[in-house]
Amino acid sequence: MKPLLTTSGLSRRFGGLRAVDDVDFTLMPGEIRGIIGPNGAGKTTFVSLLCGRILPSTGTVMFDGADITGLPAFRRVRRGIAYTFQITSVFAKLSAYDNVALPVQRRLSDSRSTASIRSGVMGALERTGLADRASMPAGELAYGHQRLLEVAMGLALKPRLLILDEPTQGLSDGEIENFIDLVRDIARDATVLIIEHNMPVVMQLAGRITVFDAGRILAEGTPHEIRADLRVQDAYLGTQHG
């Protein structure tokens, strides 16, 4: 099986700071991969490089065998990369339905029938548990539900790779359990890359975990291997809370 996404020597500098420093990374189709690390480790900068939100200082990004290093974000979306914080800013005055309709219309550029759009929107809202809030203005949703709305907007694109940045922040314990089921369902037909500080969520979901520290990959492995890694314990797990 060929990798879905790889990076080689990927770096991003901001002045004298190397936020991402010479990262080689491989993601296989169908994976749920967790990314963890202390604040400032470079996690969000790294996934921003993957989705095209920012471009690298050096290095390459390959997706499905094609070099996408210089592609802008919207062209990466068309290729099947969805990043919740990149493609989705919740439009507070629009209803939840209309927020999701925007990416559905983008995906269905050749078929804009009302029935096709409604099916795509309600399918995404139902999967994220928001169907009963479809008519609510997005700005009136609870913070956790706004995060789920962002996930629904990403799902509406039917991506091959869905990147989720701290998706459980603001969710109740019950909502987190539902979210775990949702990600497992998504992974049946997409690859999922998830940045998450909630360690029980990462340990339950991820088949493999990549640990960032100071812009570099400190360790990679199964949840069991990461738990047992003394370097990870020193850098992150030993001082990580919540």
What would the pLDDT profile of 52-94 be if each residue is shown by its tens digit? 999 999 999 999 999 999 999 999 999 999 988 644 478 999 9
Asked if residue 240 belongs to a domain, the reply is yes
Confidence at residue 86, expressed as pLDDT on a 0 to 100 scale:
44
- Residues 45 and 92 occupy one common structural domain: no
Confidence at residue 87, expressed as pLDDT on a 0 to 100 scale:
46
- Residues 62 and 138 occupy one common structural domain: no
Closest among 58, 61, 87, 57 to 4, alpha carbons compared: 61
- Residues 69 and 166 occupy one common structural domain: yes
Closest among 190, 183, 180, 90 to 141, alpha carbons compared: 90
Classify strands 81-83 and 66-67 as parallel, antiparallel or unpaired: unpaired
- Residues 126 and 236 occupy one common structural domain: no
Mean pLDDT of 100-120: 84
Q: Which of 18-27, 215-224, 227-236 has the lowest mean pLDDT?
A: 227-236
Task: Please tell me the distance from the alpha carbon of residue 149 to that of residue 99, in angstroms, as a whole number.
Answer: 8
Q: How many CB atoms lie under 10 A from the CB of residue 57?
A: 15
DSSP run (H or E) holding 213: strand 208-213
Query: How many domains does the chain divide into?
Result: 2
- Residues 68 and 18 occupy one common structural domain: yes
Residue 150's domain comprises: 81-158
Asked if residue 214 belongs to a domain, the reply is yes
Chain segment 128-140, per-residue pLDDT in tens: 999 999 999 999 9
- Residues 90 and 70 occupy one common structural domain: no
Confidence at residue 106, expressed as pLDDT on a 0 to 100 scale:
82
Q: Which of 76-90, 95-109, 119-133, 149-163 has the lowest mean pLDDT?
A: 76-90
**Residue 47 contacts residue 5 (beta carbons within 8 Å):** no
- Residues 89 and 14 occupy one common structural domain: no
Mean pLDDT, rounded, of the chain: 91
- Residues 61 and 168 occupy one common structural domain: yes
| Dihedral sign computed on CA atoms, order 195, 200, 205, 208 | positive
Confidence at residue 241, expressed as pLDDT on a 0 to 100 scale:
40
Classify strands 32-36 and 208-213 as parallel, antiparallel or unpaired: parallel
What pLDDT band is residue 1 in, cutting at 50, 70 and 90? Answer: confident
- 213: domain CATH number is 3.40.50.300
Q: Can you spell out the DSSP letters for 35-72?
A: EE--TTSSHHHHHHHHHTSS--SEEEEEETTEE-TT--
Confidence at residue 237, expressed as pLDDT on a 0 to 100 scale:
63
Q: How many CB atoms lie under 10 A from the CB of residue 238?
A: 9
Asked if residue 179 belongs to a domain, the reply is no
- Residues 67 and 98 occupy one common structural domain: no
Confidence at residue 41, expressed as pLDDT on a 0 to 100 scale:
92
- Residues 35 and 63 occupy one common structural domain: yes
Rounded to the nearest 10°, the torsion over CA 92, 93, 97, 103 is: -60
Asked if residue 139 belongs to a domain, the reply is yes
Q: How many CB atoms lie under 10 A from the CB of residue 49?
A: 24
With 0-12 CB in 10 A as exposed, 13-18 as middle and 19+ as buried, what is 1? exposed
Chain segment 30-58, per-residue pLDDT in tens: 999 999 998 889 999 999 999 999 999 99
Confidence at residue 123, expressed as pLDDT on a 0 to 100 scale:
95
User: Of the spans 87-101, 107-121, 202-216, which averages the highest pLDDT?
Assistant: 202-216
Asked if residue 177 belongs to a domain, the reply is no
